[in-house]
Amino acid sequence: MRSVHVVATGGTIASTSTGAGAVPTESVQELADAYSGVFDRVDVQLDQLAQLPSSELATDDLEALGDRIRAAAADVDGVVVFHGTDTIEETAYYLDLVLDVDVPVVLTGAQRTHDEISPDGPANVRGALDAAAHDHVQDGVYVLFNEQLHAARAVTKRHSSNLDAYDSGDYGLVAERTPEGFWFYRQPESLSATIPARTITATVELVTTSTDTDGSAIRHAVDRGVDGLVVDALGLGNVPTDVASAIESAIDNDVVVVVTTRCRDGVVSPVYGSDGGAKTLEDAGVVFGSDLPAHKARIKLLVALSARGDIDDVRALFGSNQHDSYGYVGEQ
């Protein structure tokens, strides 16, 4: 029988209704006791790391989770993490960036609380355990939800409450769990270059843009001494004029600025040369976030600045050719 280490952090999967609203109350042992038959196919080790909604997890918690997984990985065939759904994709991506372990790590959770009618937790846990123990899934970090296995880099929560909450966009699913087992659509593997950061020492803020946004949020962040900024730009990476001016000032103050696009699909590209155009921003020294959504680009910049710090190293880590099978491959 294959072995899986289960780390619980709280979230909706562990939550029950109280007079003050739903809060995490159920320990991983209590969930295992309640999920009759779910754990029968693997030898499990249960580990309670935290008992929080994922909206309240801090980078210290992510570091502790990474350390816990590293400590367990040598003695098991896989790791499963119970996690809240709000930020599961960010934690998964963080782990995908920093872990260098030879077992798969599968995060899962629930959209319905433990005491709701027909909770989705048990089925998600069964699927996650099966994925973590699967012979074909050798390493990498994933999210298993609603019978679908997603790669950490690609997955995004697209619905706030529906059980079919997660999507991998143009990357597509890694696999789908059927009554006869997992049907694989592509090779299960990490889509991220490993960055050797054990601790997060950098500070990075995220700034959004829309029509006529000014640059005050960027200027205030620079005044507070941040190390990096992620600017979620428009279209191909364009911003209002005052935002562009604030970005240039930030770069002059040695703040690393990563530009992403608020579009769900597509990449940032230096096409427009107006005052706020992406080509102008590129000439000013921004780093392009490719097709990463802003919240994941922030995670990557936190890790990159904590590990490297040098702008050229950070720019290389955000390059589109970090993996052989996606992005710009070969001659342009």
Is the same domain home to 21 and 148? Answer: yes
Whole-number percent of the chain with pLDDT over 90: 92
Burial of 198: CB neighbours in 10 Å, binned 0-12, 13-18, 19+: exposed
Q: What is the CATH number of the domain that holds 73?
A: 3.40.50.1170
Model confidence at 318, in pLDDT bands (50, 70, 90)?
A: confident
pTM value is 0.95
pLDDT of residue 324: 42
Residue 116 maps to a domain: yes
Helices (H) and strands (E) in the chain, counts: 9, 16
Q: What is the pLDDT of residues 175-219, one digit of tens each?
A: 999 999 999 999 999 999 999 899 999 999 999 999 999 999 999
Residue 199 maps to a domain: no
Is the same domain home to 132 and 279? Answer: no
What contacts 24+ positions apart, CB below 8 Å, involve 272-278?
272/236, 272/238, 274/238, 275/241, 275/244, 275/245, 276/238, 276/239, 276/240, 276/241, 276/243, 276/244, 277/238, 278/233, 278/236, 278/237, 278/238
Give CA–CA dist 304/93, Å, rounded.
13
Residue 190 maps to a domain: no
Is the same domain home to 17 and 155? Answer: yes
Give CA–CA dist 298/200, Å, rounded.
12
Give me the number of domains the chain comprises: 2
Q: What is the DSSP string of 263-278?
A: SSSS-------STTSH
Is the same domain home to 119 and 20? Answer: yes
Q: What is the pLDDT of residues 93-133, one digit of tens each?
A: 999 999 999 999 999 999 999 999 999 999 999 999 999 99
pLDDT of residue 310: 74
**Backbone region of residue 170 per phi and psi (left: phi > 0; alpha: psi in -120 to 50; beta: other values):** alpha
State which of 184, 214, 241 marks the end of a domain.
Answer: 184
Residue 198 maps to a domain: no
- Average pLDDT over the chain, rounded to whole? 94
pLDDT of residue 328: 65
Q: What is the pLDDT of residues 48-61, one digit of tens each?
A: 999 999 999 999 99
Active site residues: 12, 85
Q: What is the pLDDT of residues 15-68, one digit of tens each?
A: 999 999 999 999 999 999 999 899 999 999 999 999 999 999 999 999 999 999
Is the same domain home to 121 and 216? Answer: no
Residue 305 maps to a domain: yes
Q: Which domain holds residue 31?
A: 3-184
Residue 192 maps to a domain: no
Is the same domain home to 8 and 82? Answer: yes
* Residue from 40, 14, 37, 45 nearest 27 by CA: 14
Is the same domain home to 90 and 140? Answer: yes
Three-state secondary structure call for residue 296:
helix
Q: What is the CATH number of the domain that holds 311?
A: 3.40.50.40
Q: What is the pLDDT of residues 218-275, one digit of tens each?
A: 999 999 999 999 999 999 999 999 999 999 999 999 999 999 999 999 999 999 999 9
State which of 155, 184, 213 marks the end of a domain.
Answer: 184
Is the same domain home to 34 and 156? Answer: yes
Is the same domain home to 56 and 132? Answer: yes
Is the same domain home to 106 and 146? Answer: yes
Is the same domain home to 236 and 112? Answer: no
First to last CA, the chain: 49
pLDDT of residue 194: 92
Q: What is the pLDDT of residues 150-174, one digit of tens each?
A: 999 999 999 999 999 999 999 999 9
Neighbours of 331 (CB within 10 A): 4
Please answer whether residues 104 and 81 qualify as being in contact, where contact means their C-beta atoms are separated by less than 8 angstroms.
no
